[in-house]
Structure 1
Amino acid sequence: MTSIMTMKGTKQLIKELRAAGSESTEVEVKSGLHGFPKSALETMSAFANGSGGTILFGLTDKTFRPVKGFDAQRVHDAVSNAVRAKLTPHPAVELSVEEFEGSRVVRADVEEMPYFDKPCFVGSKGAYGGSYIRIGEGDHKLSEYEVSQLRDNRVQPGYDREPVENGNQETLNSQAVENLLEKARVRTPSAFAGVDTRIALKRLNVTTESTRRARPTLAGLLALGVYPQEFFPQLNVTFVAVPGTSLGEVDAGGVAFTDNQSFNGPIPSLITASVDAVRRNSNRAAIITGEGRTDVYDYPDVAVREAITNALMHRDYSSYARGIQVQMEMYTDRLEIRNPGGLYGGVRVEELGRVFTSSSRNAALAKLLEEVEMPRTGSSVCENRGSGIARMAYAMEKAGKAAPEFRVTPTSVTVILRHAPVGATWGARRGDREDPGDSAAVPVAPAMMPTPSGALVAAGEPVQVGTVASAARRGGARGSDARTTGPRAPEEAAVSWRDSSHEHELIEFMSRWRGPVTSQRVQDALCLSQSATNRLLRRMIDAGHVVPTAPPRSHHRAYLLADNLARVRASRRAATS
């Protein structure tokens, strides 16, 4: 039962309904003038499959006034009988008859069904035709996939142990397999030391049997395969970077995606490619200390890595979902990572990150990923201890960012990371923090304060030295900022630096280069994507700071600073005079 239902009295609920002028996600009103309405069965199913809720019988659905002629006792008894006879399984419903404005109403508090009993459905319609969920103020029938997800919660799914049709040992990466076996022999010698390779792979759930013709399991293919998408093309990761805060927004040039990619390969490669993509499309800052330079990005690598690892490890791999990718959407204010499949094993959204839960939908895959190595680092893909979300939250807090958010439906889980700093102030420089006694204070990222020329400042001072997402993604640039000199208030410096960081960098780079530079050299020097580089150059040309050396589609097109071009022309005139 949701806390709102247990805390609020009937009069308070009706007062809120009247103030809002409509029903809510937690409260439904039924007239009941002609007895028990059949639609109440759908509402009780919806509340039981969701977070619980309350039905009030004996009120009008427009003004929420008592219904004249309402027989409260008759409806009370009908509701009690219907719960037992017409709903499967029977939800827990607390019934009461209460006095209200000179009349009587029937209140039915429907408790949420335990996860291992869901879905609750109207018996005459069956599970796939009579299961409902509450969305807004209405009851909506669950899809076949949604019902299957709820039913999978009752048992340990075995989709990750299924054999891959037409697969064989050659579909696995031999080096990755050897690394796995070596680690297994060291960690558990009693099970793997001196054991035939085929038997060891069967015990590790990499293959389905210990014969030469053994086929890899889905878990084995995903963790160790050369190219799993040969068999399951959609079991990959898609990534888009959007120049706004919602899909469909376009930038000034009509571009809908500043980056749009599909990552393929086994899970370790998918994780690496995903983290790299977020870095590539993030703002980058550098902190210069006596020990050297440290790059800092919008989203901590640890948080992104844990989020994408969880998505790939805990996603639904049933036949219903094998056509759905893990999706990454990067907006100007947040990163969203969405996987098919709701929460598994009774985990509640409010518990995520607060308790270590290692309930895994894909037990064989999760166990295997404990031993499989990541490229570049050689560390394991995961710990499989239920601590991933806690590490994600800690990394965000340490970077001064908001805690991860979660959006959960019966068929998906979305992790939302926001890059805006929490409690950051322009006084928080050199790693300083606000008073720890301030309840709103959290560790914050150092403020980014450039010099007017955009050059690096004294050691220990952070400077934003490059971004991968263009300034257009952040709301455009102001060409005049590149020429601004003199002191400015910290707030003004913050705005202009965010808007013009690329212009400063480009001018500084081209000043050092002096001769014509190609767009590829700019792209490499500023760590930008190709589309971001092209937009930056167009803005600088429009502002009169940069001059192209050839027409737009020429292979010989390069770029000069306007000041450099003036010097070149003056030098030529002097040489010919």
Structure 2
Amino acid sequence: MAAELTIQEPTLFDNLELMEQIDRLFEDSESYDIEFKSARNGFPESFWETYSAFANTQGGTIILGVREKKDHFIPDGLSTEQIAKYKKDFWNQVNNRQCISTNLLKNDDVQEVEYKGTNLLLFNVPRADRKQMPVYRTTNPFGNTYKRNHEGDYKCTESEIRRMIADSDNAHPQDARILEGFSMDDIDAESLKQYRQLFATSHPHHPWLLLDDLQLLEKLGGYRTDRQTGQKGFTLAGLLMFGKVASIQDPACAPAYFPDYRECQSDDPAVRWTDRVYPDGTWEANLFQFYHKVYTKLAAFLPKPFKLEKGIRREDSPTHTALREALVNTLVHCDYTEDANIVVSYTKDRFTFSNPGTLLISQTQYYRGGESVCRNKSLQKMFMQIGRAEKAGSGVDKIIAGWNEARLAHPYVSEISRPDKVVLELPLVSLLSQETLDELKRLFGEEPDTLNNNELLALATCCAEGEISNERLRLMLDLHRSDITKLLQLLCKGGYLISHGSGRGTRYKINQHFFANVTGNVASNVASNVASNVASNVASNVASNVASNVANLPSGKRTRLSPNELQNMILRVCTDYLSLEEIAEQVGKGLRYLKNSIIPEMVARGLLEREYPNVPRHPSQRYRAKR
């Protein structure tokens, strides 16, 4: 049997200078994947809860020797004797099944470092393989399993643990479950008939076409016999794909089933959607019908290329293929036992695909593609037989390739907890459009022609989005964080970019004064053109609003503002989406103060809204006054 492909996850200790890394960690003290703990009075008991949480989520780094004081993290250090003892304690306990279920660390994952005169102990905890999940304390997973969200570690419920256990058993996929008491009367005959027609088109000479409906369903995995118990019946996959919606939503099948497509083309915030497809009782909303109704609507927003293949007109493109794969992925990787809905949406700037469940691979593996781990194998087979699904991997390769070929901003995947959801965003923002390339040449002359593809993408993204960061480029380029840092430093050294901030808070913007003779009004005109053509006047509007707001402030209150005055100033500034760094710069307040105190309160009170409301820690998150 072939060995399973293992991808080495990047760790905190790879490549970058360690001191630079620690500085960045303190800058990003509230990071999703970093946990500081004081250990002055002994090895912290809470270490193992965080270990379990990181292992069951996306991995992370635990740093011992840091205490929290008034929302600030201060290194209080460890003695040489403490570090030696804690290392010994850790290795003894991590290999003790009475303490933790699985040891995921190697020797290189534990390091002691000296930071500004103090000693710290760092532990890099990787994400566990799905077969190792759940990772839990003691010998009983129930009540002792943890996961992590943006608020910290939390104890998993019994149902969350059972779903992890089910996902770890790939030999018994969820959709192969035999349903008792269901018959052919629960199958929508028209859906099965239409499927046969598509199957015949894809495989005109396939022997399964000669089978009757029940035999065909058996071949597809929609009906099966359990060889151990002799039980026969329709499977979850069979009902989900071809069933009548009332039968699918039966408590014995998938009671939370509710696929939902939402389309909004209106600029009026009071309009929630301009079109919607959902189980409204007028059609059989099984997965087969939902897929075809929704894909037709999604594809209508893409331009139709024209080409001939063997004399046959083809109105398809890699972008259409990417959209098809994204929709099928949403349906076949969904956890139908989770109490949440499938939601597919279109807005003017993106497609969004959200399905209940968690990723069965890490986000690093997801972006690299090639991993074939499917939660619902029979559903995957059903879509594959009519040419709608990818068997060799997760289909992510085609999604990314299609979006890259169209020169659109890179797809972004995230996970949300309670309820568990996987959210894939396909932005409709062009990175290397002719307009963007023209602007780059306007700014830099013919210099961009000498740049490699990664450097050009970084500049184009910065031009299109107004700024970039290391984290943003990690979603686009197949490079390690340290290599992206070097790339950004080279672009700064070459005069293309200007950096702002420090550590993980560093942002990079286009250098509007690339040519020495571009001064005064010329530089202003260039900046104005870029803002107008690339950022839709956002930059100029913000600059105008800020100038007006500052000018109108009483002179004695320009530096000392009450919380209400500061919030009012932020609302006046945020007429359109701005990043935290931009807000801090415009109102003259510290980034940490705004991030930890002011902005969260304004969001909670409904004064500000996030550009990515479902992903609070989105690397490109921005805020605007709620309309």
Tell me which of 39, 57, 75 is aligned to 1:64.
75
Tell me which of 329, 333, 336 is aligned to 1:314.
333
Gapped regions of structure 1 (runs ≥ 5): 245-249, 372-378, 445-488, 497-577
> Quick check: 1:41–1:122 contact (8 Å CA) kept in 2?
yes
Cα–Cα, structure 1 residues 83 and 204, in superposed 2: closer, same or farther, change >3 Å?
same
Q: State whether structure 2 residue 239 is matched by structure 1 residue 239.
A: no
Cα–Cα, structure 1 residues 188 and 43, in superposed 2: closer, same or farther, change >3 Å?
same
CA shift for structure 1 position 306: 2.0
Tell me which of 194, 209, 222 is aligned to 2:240.
222
Q: TM-score, normalised by structure 2?
A: 0.56
> Quick check: 2:12–2:124 contact (8 Å CA) kept in 1?
no
Give the percent of matched residue pairs that are identical in Structure 1 and Structure 2.
Answer: 21
In 2, distance between residues paired with 1:393 and 1:187?
33
Tell me which of 3, 23, 33 is aligned to 2:11.
3
Equivalent in the alignment of 1:109 = 124
CA shift for structure 1 position 47: 2.6
State which drifts further: 255-264 or 359-368: 255-264
Equivalent in the alignment of 2:186 = 171
Cα–Cα, structure 1 residues 436 and 128, in superposed 2: closer, same or farther, change >3 Å?
farther
- Map Cα deviations across residues 131-161 of structure 1 (whole Å, 9 max, x no partner): 2234347323234444334323321243312
> Quick check: 2:174–2:375 contact (8 Å CA) kept in 1?
no
In 1, distance between residues paired with 2:382 and 2:354?
22
Equivalent in the alignment of 1:396 = 403
Equivalent in the alignment of 1:360 = 374
In 2, distance between residues paired with 1:87 and 1:399?
47
Give 2:274's aligned amino acid: T
CA shift for structure 1 position 48: 2.5
SS in 1 for 2:13: helix
- Map Cα deviations across residues 181-222 of structure 1 (whole Å, 9 max, x no partner): 985997664xx5877765554343222359xx9642221222
- Map Cα deviations across residues 473-501 of structure 1 (whole Å, 9 max, x no partner): xxxxxxxxxxxxxxxx99989999xxxxx
> Quick check: 2:435–2:533 contact (8 Å CA) kept in 1?
no
Tell me which of 89, 99, 102 is aligned to 2:102.
89
Tell me which of 408, 424, 428 is aligned to 1:419.
428
> Quick check: 2:62–2:122 contact (8 Å CA) kept in 1?
yes
Cα–Cα, structure 1 residues 304 and 64, in superposed 2: closer, same or farther, change >3 Å?
same
Equivalent in the alignment of 1:335 = 351
Give 1:311's aligned amino acid: T
Q: State whether structure 2 residue 143 is matched by structure 1 residue 129.
A: yes
Give 2:369's aligned amino acid: V
Cα–Cα, structure 1 residues 69 and 428, in superposed 2: closer, same or farther, change >3 Å?
closer
In 2, distance between residues paired with 1:287 and 1:93?
51
Equivalent in the alignment of 2:364 = 350
In 2, distance between residues paired with 1:299 and 1:3?
33
SS in 2 for 1:153: helix
> Quick check: 1:33–1:69 contact (8 Å CA) kept in 2?
no
In 2, distance between residues paired with 1:80 and 1:491?
55
Equivalent in the alignment of 1:565 = none
Cα–Cα, structure 1 residues 260 and 396, in superposed 2: closer, same or farther, change >3 Å?
same
Equivalent in the alignment of 1:278 = 298
- Map Cα deviations across residues 436-489 of structure 1 (whole Å, 9 max, x no partner): 9862379x9xxxxxxxxxxxxxxxxxxxxxxxxxxxxxxxxxxxxxxxxxxxx9
> Quick check: 2:349–2:428 contact (8 Å CA) kept in 1?
yes
- Map Cα deviations across residues 24-44 of structure 1 (whole Å, 9 max, x no partner): 444333222221221111122
SS in 2 for 1:361: coil
Cα–Cα, structure 1 residues 266 and 31, in superposed 2: closer, same or farther, change >3 Å?
closer
Cα–Cα, structure 1 residues 400 and 15, in superposed 2: closer, same or farther, change >3 Å?
closer
- Map Cα deviations across residues 51-75 of structure 1 (whole Å, 9 max, x no partner): 4333333333332132689833333
- Map Cα deviations across residues 258-289 of structure 1 (whole Å, 9 max, x no partner): 33441552322211221234367x5x879999
User: Higher helix share goes to which structure?
Assistant: 2
Tell me which of 165, 170, 173 is aligned to 1:151.
165
> Quick check: 1:55–1:109 contact (8 Å CA) kept in 2?
yes
In 2, distance between residues paired with 1:219 and 1:17?
45
In 1, distance between residues paired with 2:150 and 2:191?
48
State which drifts further: 419-428 or 307-316: 419-428
In 1, distance between residues paired with 2:16 and 2:531?
45
Give 1:251's aligned amino acid: D
Equivalent in the alignment of 1:50 = 57
Cα–Cα, structure 1 residues 27 and 427, in superposed 2: closer, same or farther, change >3 Å?
closer
Give 1:123's aligned amino acid: T
SS in 2 for 1:133: strand
Q: State whether structure 2 residue 412 is matched by structure 1 residue 405.
A: yes
> Quick check: 1:286–1:295 contact (8 Å CA) kept in 2?
no
Equivalent in the alignment of 1:142 = 156
- Map Cα deviations across residues 527-562 of structure 1 (whole Å, 9 max, x no partner): xxxxxxxxxxxxxxxxxxxxxxxxxxxxxxxxxxxx
In 1, distance between residues paired with 2:272 and 2:241?
33
Cα–Cα, structure 1 residues 151 and 71, in superposed 2: closer, same or farther, change >3 Å?
same
Number of equivalenced pairs: 417
> Quick check: 2:330–2:353 contact (8 Å CA) kept in 1?
yes
In 1, distance between residues paired with 2:152 and 2:533?
49
Equivalent in the alignment of 1:78 = 89
Trace 1:439-450 onto structure 2 (pairs within 5 A). Answer: 439=453, 440=456
Equivalent in the alignment of 1:258 = 274
Tell me which of 154, 175, 179 is aligned to 1:160.
175
SS in 2 for 1:55: strand
Trace 1:366-385 onto structure 2 (pairs within 5 A). Answer: 366-371=380-385, 379-385=386-392
CA shift for structure 1 position 391: 3.0
> Quick check: 2:356–2:422 contact (8 Å CA) kept in 1?
yes
In 2, distance between residues paired with 1:416 and 1:205?
30
SS in 1 for 2:143: helix
Equivalent in the alignment of 2:472 = none
Trace 1:282-297 onto structure 2 (pairs within 5 A). Answer: 282=301
In 2, distance between residues paired with 1:187 and 1:369?
18
> Quick check: 1:53–1:110 contact (8 Å CA) kept in 2?
yes
SS in 2 for 1:276: helix
| CA RMSD of superposed structures (Å) | 4.5
SS in 2 for 1:223: helix
Give 2:268's aligned amino acid: D
> Quick check: 1:2–1:51 contact (8 Å CA) kept in 2?
no
CA shift for structure 1 position 257: 2.9
In 1, distance between residues paired with 2:66 and 2:305?
64
> Quick check: 1:173–1:225 contact (8 Å CA) kept in 2?
yes
> Quick check: 1:89–1:117 contact (8 Å CA) kept in 2?
yes
In 1, distance between residues paired with 2:121 and 2:67?
13
> Quick check: 2:191–2:289 contact (8 Å CA) kept in 1?
no
SS in 1 for 2:165: helix
Cα–Cα, structure 1 residues 2 and 69, in superposed 2: closer, same or farther, change >3 Å?
closer
Cα–Cα, structure 1 residues 350 and 331, in superposed 2: closer, same or farther, change >3 Å?
same
> Quick check: 2:407–2:433 contact (8 Å CA) kept in 1?
yes
CA shift for structure 1 position 337: 0.6
> Quick check: 1:307–1:392 contact (8 Å CA) kept in 2?
yes
Q: State whether structure 2 residue 340 is matched by structure 1 residue 324.
A: yes
